[in-house]
Every structure is written in structure tokens, then in C-alpha cells.
Structure 1
Amino acid sequence: MKIFDTVPFFVRLYEPSLAFLHNYQRAFSNTFKSYRKYHCKNTTEQKEFALSEYAIDHIERVHKEIIPIIERTARAYEEQYSLVFPISVQLIVGVYGSNAYAEREVVPNITFALEQLPADEESLSIIVAHELGHVAHHMLTDQKGCDWGGMMWQDPRISAFQEGAAMYFSKQIVSGLPDFKYFSFDAQKDDGYQKALTLLPGIARAFLKDLQQQSSTQMVREWFSIRGGEQFEIPRLGYVIGEQFVATEIERLGGERALTLWTEPNFLQYMNSWLEEVCENEFKNRS
């Protein structure tokens, strides 16, 4: 695993101007390609907002904390799952789009945008474990001989399963914390997790309805974005759906089988059946 770090360049040369941000992103154009395409509008207005919000001291604190956390977390995955990550981890300063993301690859590289990350060690540890959990999930799936070419990447049920698996892995690597922290990525506040569990039958019904009526882009915003969650006033409810599905299937099938269910040709219908069951039955609170 290699860490590709553009943050010292940003901090050392920072000046509050659009020209600076343009030159910074151009200097690392390959690094920012996916960020601009999938994870941030990156408009002039967004850049102007970022220039008004940047706190260089905070960025430097996060930068100091996150590198040893990444290295420690990678070692934990190697010890627990015998996985050595053949990836690059990129550290950037974005313009307040996504705080972290895995690339759209079979074995995905990871990017962390430091201006959006918390500076405390516990929250950072959860976020890092979650993103590396995506890599672990893909690697373990690939070992099973997955037909990646047939994967329905745009389907929200696939996204929910991926996020649920990453939440599961983060609980194994950074263990013993209240469940809400693995959802909110915040050491201080619940952010709606407990409420979501009590509302899960209604949430499952709404998710199934949106699968029929909404585009994948609309569902990504409503169910997976921090800026979504209009229906229940809780963002990222797709994570909760995925987490509860993964927890149910691990209990029923065991970890290895449950985490690779998406390789099966009937997976989407299988998840539909689970969602319909949740709609019909009161779901036990797992907290």
C-alpha cells in the first residue's frame, strides 16, 4: 500500500484564490479526476465556498493524525483477514465534496479529502476502517471468483450492500464502540441511527418504492449522500439498510457466505425479498 500525499503541497503554497485551487488540482490532475467526476460539483461557486471555509490548522492536524491511522488499520486487516492491500491511498484537500471514497475498481484505491474529516483519533479511525473495508470486501469477493463484468454497479441495492459490508468490517477493526458511531462517523453524536432502526419497516417500504420510481442518481442523493435523507430527515439511510441486511445474513449464513452474496445471479431479488420481509415484520433493534 502506497500513500500519495498532496497535502503538504497545498498547505505550503496555499493562498486564498481561485487561481491557486485551479493550479493545485491541475498539478495533481490524475488524483482529482474521479473527485471532479463523481464526488464534487467542483464549480466556481463550490471553490469560492471552500476558500471561505478552509482552516489550515485543522487540515494540518488531520494530516498529522491520519497517516499513522491508515498504516495501523492496514496492519489490522492483514492480521485479521490475511489481506495485504495492493492499493494507493490518496490524501488531498478537496472543496467540501465527499470526505472519503473508494474508486470504482475491482480492487479500489482510496482517497481522503482532509478538509472534510474530523481531527479526533476515534472518528478518523472509524472512517479509515470503513474505506479500507470496501477494499477488503472487494478482495474477499474477488477471491471467490466474482464476475465483475456483470456487476450492476449503479443499482442502489448493490450500493447498500457495499456500505453495509464496510460498516461490518469497520466494527471488526475498530471494535467496541456504540453502533451509531460506525454510521455517523462521529465520536460525539448519533445522527439518527437509533431512530432509523425503529423506523426500519417504513424505511424499507420507501426504499422499495423508490427503486420502482426513482433513477439511480436520485436514489444516490436521497439514500447515500450526507445531503440527502429528505423523506425521514436522516441522511445515508442506505447505509443502515445495508448494515441490517449484512448483519441478518451473517447470522443466518456466516460471514464468508454472507459477504459474498452479491456474486450470486439472483442477489438483487434476494435482497428484495429481505426488504419485503422487513416491511411486513417489526425488525428487532440490534443496538
Structure 2
Amino acid sequence: MSTWTFVNVFPAFVNFWQQVHCLSVDEQIERWTSEFMPHWPELLEKQIADYADQNVDWRSVAAEKVFPFLGERLPAMHESHRNLLTLCPTTYQQAELKLGFASPITFVIHVGIGCGAGWVTAYQDSPAIWFGLENIAECGWSDEGSVAGLIAHEFGHVVHEQWRTQRGQAFGEGAWWQLYLEGFAQRCEEIISEESAPHEASNDEDQAWLAWCQAHRAELAAEFLRSVETGEAVQKFFGSWYDIEGHSQCGYFLGHEIIKQLENDLCLKEIAGLTDIEERFKSELRKFH
């Protein structure tokens, strides 16, 4: 039976922003930290901890990449907020129907400090998907199609975690794990949403992203292999603040292509329980170029 809960912080944020939008960025961040976020301490603590794990100063990120743009992105945040409220329950039902997903989930809708448009984690000790409206707006994913795809993608992560746990398989880290993780979620998005174009390319403007990735698949595969083999970070393949030749999030495309290839021999549940991830993914990438 479908069970979901919303933790909707956005209406309170809109009221807060009306009070601070004329202040300096430093004052906005200070009041956000000391006056607004104490109402949701777990949201604040987990975001700060995420940056600490990356050895990144969260205040610098907030001051340079997030708060200066909140005012201009507020209309897009309103749009994505409306779409999330409508589409989260229906996408849950689609995930339940298409993938057999069965777990209570909390949808957290908030304006954060750039920790992701979608983040599968926990809230009050329950499985949760956090939707960062600031990142959704930044990426241009506020329209209905993009939001639907984003939700489906995050459900892909939840399903992957659930299936892997059921098999008793450990979770990993590093470049190969990230490529596997995002590729799996991208494939689940395709199944749940029944759309061939991912949320990164769900509107006309972003169709060029998918076409570019398809045309440069061999080069992307070679660059990923080179980066890993030389010990170079693969951040440029993931996230909206990094890019390859002006194209962000190419790792999501590349991972999806590998998962599709693996489905020639394995079902999705078997892929969710893989242990020889690096070996398989390296082999598939070498076939691409």
C-alpha cells in the first residue's frame, strides 16, 4: 500500500525570504542559519555535514553559488514546488507498479545550500527524498516533465538501495560506484516515467544535451577511463557545477548506457546486486570507444 508523507518547508521559506531579501548575502546566511533553520535542525545539520565530508566550506558555497541567486530563481522554485506536490504521489504509485517498490517514504521539499536537486537519505529515521528547490531551479528542471523525471530518478536510488539491502550486498564508494549508482537510477527513471529522454533533457532546450552525449559517447567513455586511471577526480561527470566541454551531468548518461548494455544478460534486480562493478563497467566503457 502506498504510504508517503510531505515535509514542506517552502511556504515558511517564502515568508522568511520576504523579510531578508534586501539584506546583504552574509546577513541572509546568518539569519537563515540562526533564525530559520533551527526549526528544522536535521536539515541544517545534514547539509553542513555533507560539505564537511567533502572538505568544502559550506558558507562559501552558500555565499557564492546559492544565496545571490535565490531572488531571481524564486518563480522557478514556486513552479517546481507545485509540481512536486502533485507528482510525488503519482510517481510513487508508478514506481510501485513498474518496479514493485514498497516502502514508506518522506518527501522533503526545502530550499537548501546546493546539496542536490534530489537526495536520497533519511529524515527523522525514515527513508526520505530531499528535493532542493534552489538546485532544481538552477538546473532549469522546474517544469512538469523535468520534475516528474527527477522524482522517478530519485526513486531509482531508493529501489536500488532496497534491492541491494535485500540481497545483503555492501554499498560502495568512488568513481565506479558513482557511475553505477547514477546509471542505475537513470535507467529506473526511464522505466518509471516511460520516457526515453531523461529529466536532464526533458524540455526542448535541453534536448541538445542528450544529442551531444550520444554523439560523443566514445569520447566520454575514453575520458572517464583516463580520469580514473590517472587518479583524476570525476566530478566533471556529475553535478550542475561541473562540465565537459560545456555539458554537465554527462556521467548520468554514460552510466545509463552501461546499465542498458548489462540488461542484455542480467535483469535489473541482478544488476542491483552486482559485486564486480569496476570490472564490468570498465569492460563496457572500453567497448564504447
TM over 0.5: yes
TM-score range, shorter chain: 0.7 to 0.9
Flag as ranges the 4+ runs of structure 1 deviating above 4 A: none
Amino acid at match of 1:71: P
From 63, 68, 72, the counterpart of 2:81: 63
Work out the CA distance in 2 between the residues paired with 1:104 and 1:13: 25
Q: CA deviation at 1:41?
A: 5.2
Aligned to 1:35: 47
1:242-281 to 2 correspondences below 5 Å: 242-261=255-274, 264=275, 266-279=276-289
| Partner-residue secondary structure (3-state), 1:94 | coil
Kept in 2: contact 1:157–1:271 (CA 8 A): yes
Aligned to 1:203: 220
Per-residue CA deviations over 1:89-137 (Å, capped at 9, x if unaligned) read 21111245522222399x9531101133233211110111111111011
Any stretches of 5+ residues in structure 1 without a counterpart?
280-287
- TM-score, normalised to structure 1's length? 0.81
Pair 196,58 (structure 1): closer, same or farther in 2 beyond 3 Å? closer
Q: CA deviation at 1:56?
A: 3.9
| Partner-residue secondary structure (3-state), 2:131 | strand
Work out the CA distance in 2 between the residues paired with 1:172 and 1:46: 35
From 73, 85, 95, the counterpart of 1:77: 95
| Partner-residue secondary structure (3-state), 2:150 | helix
Q: CA deviation at 1:36?
A: 2.9
Amino acid at match of 2:32: L
- TM-score, normalised to structure 2's length? 0.81
Work out the CA distance in 1 between the residues paired with 2:161 and 2:250: 22
Kept in 1: contact 2:180–2:277 (CA 8 A): no
Pair 29,126 (structure 1): closer, same or farther in 2 beyond 3 Å? same
Q: CA deviation at 1:185?
A: 5.3
1:125-136 to 2 correspondences below 5 Å: 125-136=148-159
Pair 211,25 (structure 1): closer, same or farther in 2 beyond 3 Å? same
From 156, 162, 167, the counterpart of 2:181: 162
Aligned to 2:9: 6
1:25 maps onto 2:37 in alignment: yes
Pair 108,202 (structure 1): closer, same or farther in 2 beyond 3 Å? farther
| Partner-residue secondary structure (3-state), 2:206 | coil
Kept in 2: contact 1:2–1:89 (CA 8 A): yes
% of aligned pairs identical? 16
Any stretches of 5+ residues in structure 2 without a counterpart?
none
| Partner-residue secondary structure (3-state), 1:214 | coil
Pair 257,96 (structure 1): closer, same or farther in 2 beyond 3 Å? closer
Pair 250,2 (structure 1): closer, same or farther in 2 beyond 3 Å? same
